[in-house]
Chain A
Amino acid sequence: MTTTPTEADGPDGAGTDELPAPAAPGGGGRAQRVIAYVFGRLLTAAVSLFAVIVAGFFLFRILPGDPVRAMTEGREVTAEQREELRRQFGLDQPVWRQFLDYAEGLLHLDLGVSFQYREPVVDLILERLGPTLLLAGTGTIIAALLGLFLGARAGWNPGGRGDRVNTAVALFFWSVPTFWLGLLLIVLLASGRGFMPGLFPTGGMVDPGLTGPVERALSTVQHMVLPVTTMVAVIYAQYLMIMRSSLMDEKGADYLTTARAKGLRDVLVRRRHAVPNALLPTVTLIFLNLGQVVSGVILVETVFSWPGLGQLFYSGLEVPDLGLVQGLFVVFAASVILMNLLADLVYPLLDPRVRP
């Protein structure tokens, strides 16, 4: 570790700077090493997933005490009804039995039943998955492009004016709570109060009453402007910082001197030689920071009433509907772990230096 994490990993210091470790030395041929590497990563991901499942079980079944009491709080229930509920949720079984049932259910994609919606959690999640992917995907892509572009400019001339302005702006957006930025945008651009007209809708995904597919798509785009802006503003900073420090590490490399000696203009040296190499380490970090994207999407969806997983999570917290929250917890965590696995497996294909 040669730089401090705030410089290397973006403002939050999250993320690791270790590249996928090469497989154990001295063993077998190349194919064998590749298999060992892939198998190692798969095993790590499997252990992590198992830990998530255990954590989900422990957090939501054991820690809260008696779920039946929580469910029936403030309502008149007889002792028989309570017993019936306990049987229905399998709470009369020993803990290990409950865990096995729960884990077996997960294998069948059975995430339990939402207490509030009276529907299987899986159905609720599938229903809301599309809007979330749309919002998070658009936001992440724009934020990554913007952050990498600005970061490359800032890192090429560290300490210069462009760098100082860019870093300061990024730092400011990073210091601002996501949800507040969203609230401000609503007050400013959607509430229609004061000097600004209500340019954008305050929430939702599509205006009700629209039927034509084109109309609906346009309306969705209009609804997306503010949530996407909020997401981008909050997460682009880390991409900027990652790219900046990655390019700064690359700056002293010999091949850049060679490129300059060939007489290439500075812009070309940066764009064709430095940036492509600096991009490589950012790939893993972008995947590693997906946890932040999940956090961002929860807040943005809550603020803008976007009908996705984040809002579902919030609606589960309000009640509280622990079955729903548990299911979403497992899904969020698992998706981040799988994305990381993907990054680990794809990275060696991109960067021959770390190939096993």
Chain B
Amino acid sequence: MSAPTEPGLGTALSPRALARKRRREALGRFARDYARNRAGLFGLASLLTIGVLALTAPLFVDQAHLTITGAPGDSYQPPGFEYPLGTDNFGRSILDLIIWGARVSLTVGLLATFVSVTLGTLAGITAGHFGSSGGVGGRIVSSVIMRVTDWFLVLPTLVLAVALAAVLPRGTGTIILAIGLTVWPPTARLVRAQTLAVEARPYVERARALGGGHAHVMGWHVLPNVMPVVLAQTTLLVATSIIAESTLAFLGMGDPTTISWGGILQAARTSGAISAGIWWYIVPPGLAIAVVALSFTLCGRAVESVINPRLRGGAG
């Protein structure tokens, strides 16, 4: 299929190479625009730091010290030289718990986001595409999807997620599913709006006139054009998912055998550390959640302002 570039054509590039070049340039432009957003850079830097810490945690955190029986210190030691963030009721180092907890919290946050973004994008593109070009049957499908989306949108997310987590077998997979199945509607609405905008463009009409089927139009023409919006939404959703994970863990829906930030806070509450005023048991996990959620939000807003010039400089 792909003919090699004719040697005699000099500077002319094959269509494929041209496309690659264009993509490289677009990426470079994106990176430059993003780099101008200071808050976005700050978010990115803090995420990279936390990500590296979480990935390399087994190198400097002794896992035996994270078990209740292998706890190295005394209970409720205030922050000091040996334990920079103090110890919990079992005598485990809270710093170690936080670093280890990042692994579960980030994993759940990312996977739940993946589930919900996939769901939301599928629902949004299908609804948008068939709503604009699917005949009567398509419009029915589209409006059914949007009704379901609205239904989910209106319901209290937490109640639904907790209900799911309560009836499914306990575990990290359940938490991921419970969050993923409840936070997708805003993505679906967003993607649908973007799909409608893309489908109104002439090149989509051209593709259809040339005989492009539904799958072709949705996959080749619409999907790449909704991806920037999806990317921004994804970054913002990770923040939501991480907070949701900690909330579910705090309500006791989490897997009690794993260490997560929400789980640490739940343990702090059930051990009576709150009313005893053991602040070092409570402040660090919450700050960790807040920093990660804020970083993802900052990144998401930076991506958003790069792909949507209307937002630049505030006023539209």
Q: Which residues of B contact A158 (CB under 8 A)?
A: 314-315
Taken residue by residue from 6 to 30, chain A's Cβ proximity to chain B (1 for < 8 Å, 0 otherwise) reads as 1101011111100000000000000
List of A residues within 8 angstroms of B293 by Cβ: 175-176
Given A4-B232, A13-B190, A59-B167: A299 and B153 interface contact (C-beta under 8 Å): no
Q: Are B297 and A11 in contact (CB under 8 A)?
A: yes
Q: Are the CB atoms of A48 and B154 closer together than 8 Å?
A: yes
Check A329 against B190 for contact (C-beta < 8 Å).
no
| Residues of chain B with a CB closer than 8 A to A11's CB | 297
Q: Report the bound CA distance from A303 to B186 in whole Å.
A: 28
For the complex formed, measure the closest distance between the CB of A67 and the CB atoms of chain B, giving whole angstroms: 10
Q: With the chains together, A251 CA to B315 CA distance in Å? A: 9
Asked if B224 lies at the interface with its beta carbon under 8 angstroms from chain A, I say no
Q: Are B156 and A292 in contact (CB under 8 A)?
A: yes
Do B247 and A299 touch (CB < 8 A)?
yes
Most buried by B among A51, A60, A183, A322: A183
Q: For residue B140, give the distance in angstroms from its CB to the closest CB of chain A.
A: 15
Chain B minimum-CB-distance residue to A191 = B277
**Minimum C-beta distance from B223 to chain A (A):** 19
A-B CB contacts (within 8 Å), total count: 183
**Chain A 172-186 residues near chain B, CB threshold 8 A:** 172, 174-181, 183-184, 186
| B251 contact from A9, A47, A302, Cβ within 8 A | A302
Contact B290 A172 (CB under 8 A): yes
CB contacts under 8 Å to B, within A282-338, are: 288, 291-292, 294-295, 298-299, 302-303, 313-314, 317-318, 320, 322, 325, 328-329, 332-333, 336-337
Contact B277 A291 (CB under 8 A): no
Query: Is A63 among interface residues, defined by CB-CB distance under 8 A?
Result: yes
Tell me if B48 is interfacial: C-beta within 8 Å of chain A.
no
A193 at the interface (CB under 8 A from B): yes
Which chain A residues border B253 with CB–CB below 8 Å?
Answer: 317
Within 8 A of A (CB), among B240-266: 240, 243, 246-247, 250-253, 262, 265
Stretch at the interface among B1-9, B10-18, B51-59, B278-286: B278-286
From 231 to 268 in chain A, residues with beta carbon under 8 angstroms from any chain B beta carbon are 248-249, 251-252
By beta carbon, the residue of chain A nearest B301 is A6
Asked if B290 and A176 make an inter-chain contact with CB atoms under 8 angstroms apart, the answer reads yes
Given contacts A14-B186, A175-B290, A325-B166, contact A248 B159 (CB under 8 A): no
Please classify the interface of chain A as helix (H, G, I), strand (E, B), loop, or mixed, using the class held by over half of its residues. Answer: helix
Quick one: CB contact mask for B281-311 with A, threshold 8 Å, 1 for yes?
0110110011001100100110010001011
Name A14's contact: one of B153, B289, B290, B304 (CB within 8 Å). Answer: B153
Would you give the shortest CB distance from B64 to chain A, in whole angstroms? 29
Shortest CB distance A184–B (Å):
6
Distance of A140 Cα from B25 Cα, bound (Å): 48
Taking CB atoms, residues of chain A closer than 8 Å to B251 are 299, 302, 314, 317
Give Cα distance in the complex from A90 to B150, angstroms. 33
CB of B268 within 8 A of chain A? yes
Contact B163 A248 (CB under 8 A): no
Q: What is the CB-to-nearest-CB distance from A286 to chain B, in angstroms, rounded to a whole number?
A: 13
Residue A130, interface by CB 8 Å: no
B236 close to A (CB within 8 Å): yes
Cβ contact within 8 Å between A317 and B156: no
| Residues in A neighbouring B243, C-beta threshold 8 A | 175, 177
Q: Do B233 and A13 have beta carbons less than 8 Å apart?
A: yes
Q: CB of A109 within 8 A of chain B?
A: no
Number of interface residues of A (CB under 8 A): 73
Chain B residues lying within 8 Å of A181, measured Cβ to Cβ, are 286
Closest-by-CB residue of B relative to A293 is: B156
Q: Which B142-166 residues have C-beta < 8 A from chain A?
A: 147, 150-151, 153-160, 162-164, 166
B252, chain A: closest CB distance, angstroms: 6
Check: B218 CB closer than 8 A to any chain A CB.
no
| B157 interface neighbour in A295, A328, A329, Cβ under 8 Å | A295
At the interface, yes or no: A52 with Cβ under 8 Å from chain B? yes
Which residues of B are found within 8 Å of A16, using beta-carbon distances? 150, 153, 189
Is residue B26 within 8 Å, beta carbon to beta carbon, of the partner chain? no
A248→B315 contact, CB < 8 A: yes
A187 interface contact, C-beta 8 A: yes
CB of B132 to closest CB in A, whole Å: 14
B122 to chain A, nearest CB (A): 18
User: Which among B186, B233, B265, B275 is the interface contact of A180 at CB below 8 angstroms?
Assistant: B265
Query: In the complex, what distance in Å separates the CA atom of A64 from the CA atom of B170?
Result: 11
Q: Does residue A171 face the partner (Cβ distance < 8 Å to B)?
A: yes
What residue in chain B is nearest A158 (Cβ atoms)?
Answer: B314
Q: Which residues of A contact B216 (CB under 8 A)?
A: none
Nearest CB in chain A: distance from B158 CB, A: 4
The one of A1, A15, A177, A187 in contact with B246, judged by C-beta atoms closer than 8 angstroms, is A177
Q: B278 to chain A: closest CB distance in Å?
A: 8
Asked if B274 and A187 sit within 8 Å, CB to CB, the answer is yes
**B276 in the interface (beta carbon within 8 A):** yes
B106 within 8 A of A: no
> What are 16 pairs between A and B in contact, CB < 8 Å?
A1-B193, A4-B308, A174-B297, A176-B290, A180-B282, A183-B274, A193-B278, A194-B279, A291-B154, A303-B269, A313-B162, A314-B251, A317-B162, A322-B166, A325-B162, A325-B163
The 10 closest A-B pairs by CB, nearest first: A193-B277, A158-B314, A191-B277, A159-B314, A295-B158, A180-B286, A291-B156, A175-B293, A294-B156, A13-B186
A residues contacting B by CB (< 8 A) are 1-7, 9, 11-16, 47-48, 51-52, 59-60, 63-64, 158-159, 163, 171-172, 174-181, 183-184, 186-188, 190-194, 202, 248-249, 251-252, 288, 291-292, 294-295, 298-299, 302-303, 313-314, 317-318, 320, 322, 325, 328-329, 332-333, 336-337, 340
Query: Other than the known A9-B186, A177-B247, A291-B154, what 9 A-B pairs have Cβ atoms closer than 8 Å?
Result: A1-B193, A6-B236, A48-B154, A158-B315, A180-B286, A190-B275, A191-B276, A288-B153, A336-B154
